[in-house]
């Protein structure tokens, strides 16, 4: 006879997965593509920077031609493009290329973001498995619920980037880690299948995202500590040590072919944007990243009264949730049935956090300032919060979980409607500023020193083209190389092909220069005289300036 409680349990899991799916696929094309997503699109479509039309005038309606699928590309060719022009391992881009070739439909942005969204749904199922194995079925449902309505997880799932795939793999790796820990704790013979799966998942992860190595090191260190502290008297102690040593060796050896490429890419200009840490900044930035995993209300680019109210609500909720989690962790740590699983997850999270701080303070690259990088330790945090809430007394359990669920759900609506986790460099805001005179033709010029500048300019151009799509007013784009300095951009402007518009607005995006460096007058195509509009200067990570142009003839 089928157990009714079991049916309700799996119906609940199905409902959680359905909710998580809806949230991750909602409004996938609402937000503009930002710089990193443009880079993802180029390499995932089988192209590279050499396919971009540079140093020429391009009508904005032709931008879509850049983002068309190029059939017949192999994973080796995609990997070679990444080696030559980027700083990422190849697997995600190869799988994305296959996904885009398989997907049907005209909206290429939805297709681009749908794979990370689907992987985000699979991560919900994976975290259910982690907590069910580590603690209980109820804990598994709570963990799945928390991830389903986590604004951070939804934000990552709607990014056309390689974050949800390594997050899924880290969650699966934790699942195998918990199984290894349980087998050791119960003095069972090692399951070679479990160890083999742990090895394979970690090998794949290394070729998906370089930050996966942080998770692997934290897991390996956790196993070393676990064996040293809790397993000295086991009969198969030496066999387990040999298995662990062989497993770690196998993962490291598998990555040796790519290791020279990592050293080659470490000092590339594309990584120089990560700033050194500012005193205690890594600590409070990490705390903020932890808060954003459960609550994200509108704060960025909001009126002061809304930003202050949202910030206060987030702080109050974070304090309340932190108090609940601390109480739950204390109970989990004192319970013999849950102590070892709690130790394993807590050790993993602590290890990754220490690695992040070490990168910030010793290598002088403050990766804690980038919230999306918290995907490395997010599965462990989610598992621990869920387990902690499950330990609350039954009279308060439903209220606590419902509160966290409701706050997360509201936060997710803010995310999917572009009110929280806004895109870096705000392409939509830049486009709206440039389009303040919709009936006037526009020419957007981006002076670039590297291909990241080009990708940033493309994100602005795509957002601008979306605003002006279907209108008869011309919009043109040009990417001009600033070599040896920005003076070369002004010189190239005068040599561009003749424009059809006799009067237009010229917007110049000039990474690396200051307001005073913009000249008062420029010439475009030898026949258009452009005067600077001193009231129309803006900066959002990079400066952009308006010139008003008229024909000299």
- pLDDT tens-digit series, residues 307-331: 999 999 999 999 999 999 999 999 9
- pLDDT tens-digit series, residues 245-301: 999 999 999 999 888 888 777 777 777 778 889 889 999 999 999 999 999 999 998
The CA-CA-CA angle for residues 226, 230, 231, to 5°, reads: 95
- pLDDT tens-digit series, residues 504-524: 999 999 998 999 999 999 999
Residue 163 has pLDDT above 90, yes or no: yes
pLDDT, position 308: 96
Between CA 546 and CA 440 the distance in angstroms is 13
End-to-end CA distance of the chain: 89
pLDDT, position 553: 67
Residue 342 has pLDDT above 80, yes or no: yes
3-class SS of residue 547: strand
Residue-range domain boundaries for the chain: 4-29+115-416, 427-551
Q: How many other β-carbons are positioned within 10 Å of the β-carbon of residue 491? A: 12
The mean pLDDT value for 301-307 works out to: 93
3-class SS of residue 479: strand
Residue 188 has pLDDT above 90, yes or no: no
- pLDDT tens-digit series, residues 378-416: 999 999 999 999 987 666 778 889 999 999 999 999 999
DSSP 330-393: HHHHH-TTTHHHHHHHHHHHHHHHHHHHHHHHHS---GGG-GGGGGGTHHHHHHHHHHHHHTS-
- Please give the mean pLDDT across all residues of the chain: 92
Between CA 530 and CA 360 the distance in angstroms is 45
3-class SS of residue 548: strand
- Say what percent of the chain tops pLDDT 90: 76
Band of pLDDT at residue 3, cut at 50, 70 and 90: confident
Band of pLDDT at residue 332, cut at 50, 70 and 90: very high
pLDDT, position 103: 86
* CB of 515 closer than 8 Å to CB of 543: yes
Which among 469, 461, 509, 467 is positioned nearest to 33, based on CA atoms? Answer: 461
| Beta-carbon contacts of residue 120 (< 8 Å; ≥ 6 apart) | 20, 24, 153, 154, 156, 157, 164, 167, 168
Half-sphere exposure of 67 (CA within 13 A, CB side): 23
Band of pLDDT at residue 1, cut at 50, 70 and 90: low
* CB of 204 closer than 8 Å to CB of 90: no
The mean pLDDT value for 530-543 works out to: 94
Helix (H) or strand (E) holding 225: helix 212-230
- CA 318 to chain CA centroid, nearest Å: 22
Taking the CA atoms of the chain, what radius of gyration do you get in angstroms? 26
Between CA 128 and CA 141 the distance in angstroms is 6
- Say what percent of the chain tops pLDDT 70: 98
């Amino acid at each position: 006879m089928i157990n009714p409680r079991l049916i309700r349990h799996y119906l609940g899991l199905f409902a959680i997965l359905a909710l998580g799916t809806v949230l991750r696929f909602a409004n996938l094309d609402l937000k503009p593509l930002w710089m990193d997503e443009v880079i993802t699109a180029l390499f995932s479509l089988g192209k590279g920077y050499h396919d971009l039309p540079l140093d020429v005038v391009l009508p904005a309606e032709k931008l879509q031609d850049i983002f068309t699928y190029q059939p017949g590309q192999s994973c080796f060719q995609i990997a070679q493009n990444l080696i030559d022009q980027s700083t990422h391992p190849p697997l995600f881009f190869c799988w994305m290329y296959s996904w885009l070739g398989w997907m049907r439909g005209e909206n290429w942005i939805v297709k681009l973001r749908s794979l990370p969204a689907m992987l985000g749904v699979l991560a919900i199922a994976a975290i259910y498995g982690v907590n069910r194995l580590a603690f209980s079925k109820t804990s598994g449902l709570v963990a799945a619920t928390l991830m389903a309505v986590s604004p951070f997880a939804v934000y990552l799932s709607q990014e056309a980037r390689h974050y949800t795939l390594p997050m899924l793999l880290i969650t699966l790796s934790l699942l195998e880690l918990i199984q290894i820990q349980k087998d050791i704790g119960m003095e069972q013979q090692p399951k070679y299948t479990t160890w083999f799966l742990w090895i394979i998942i970690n090998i794949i992860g290394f070729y998906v995202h370089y930050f996966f190595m942080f998770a692997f090191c934290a897991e390996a260190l956790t196993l070393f500590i676990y064996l040293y502290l809790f397993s000295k008297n086991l009969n198969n102690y030496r066999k387990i040590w040999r298995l662990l040593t062989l497993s770690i060796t196998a993962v490291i050896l598998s990555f040796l072919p790519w290791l020279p490429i990592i050293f080659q890419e470490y000092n590339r200009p594309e990584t120089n944007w990560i700033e050194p840490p500012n005193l205690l900044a890594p600590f409070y930035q990490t705390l903020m990243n932890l808060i954003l995993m459960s609550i994200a209300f509108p704060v960025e680019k909001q009126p002061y009264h809304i930003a202050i109210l949202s910030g206060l609500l987030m702080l109050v909720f974070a304090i309340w949730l932190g108090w609940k989690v601390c109480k739950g962790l204390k109970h989990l740590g004192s319970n013999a049935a849950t102590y070892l699983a709690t130790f394993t997850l807590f050790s993993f999270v602590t290890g990754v956090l220490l690695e992040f701080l070490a990168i910030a303070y010793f290598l002088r690259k403050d990766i804690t300032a980038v919230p999306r990088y918290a995907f490395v330790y997010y599965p462990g945090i989610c598992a621990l919060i869920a387990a902690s809430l499950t330990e609350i007394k039954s009279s308060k359990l439903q209220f606590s979980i419902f509160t966290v669920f409701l706050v997360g759900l509201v936060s997710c609506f803010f995310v999917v409607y572009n009110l929280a986790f806004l895109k870096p460099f705000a392409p939509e805001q830049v486009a709206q500023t440039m389009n303040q005179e919709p009936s006037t033709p526009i020419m957007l010029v981006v002076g670039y020193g590297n291909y990241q500048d080009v990708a940033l300019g493309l994100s602005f151009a795509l957002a601008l083209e979306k605003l002006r799509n279907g209108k008869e007013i011309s919009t043109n784009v040009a990417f001009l190389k600033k070599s040896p300095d920005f003076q070369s951009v002004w010189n190239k402007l005068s040599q561009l092909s003749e424009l059809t518009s006799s009067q237009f607005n010229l917007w110049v995006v000039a990474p690396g220069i200051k307001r005073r460096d913009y000249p008062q007058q420029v010439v475009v195509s030898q026949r258009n005289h452009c005067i600077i509009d001193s009231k129309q200067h803006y900066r959002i990570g990079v400066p952009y300036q308006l010139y008003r142009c008229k024909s000299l003839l």
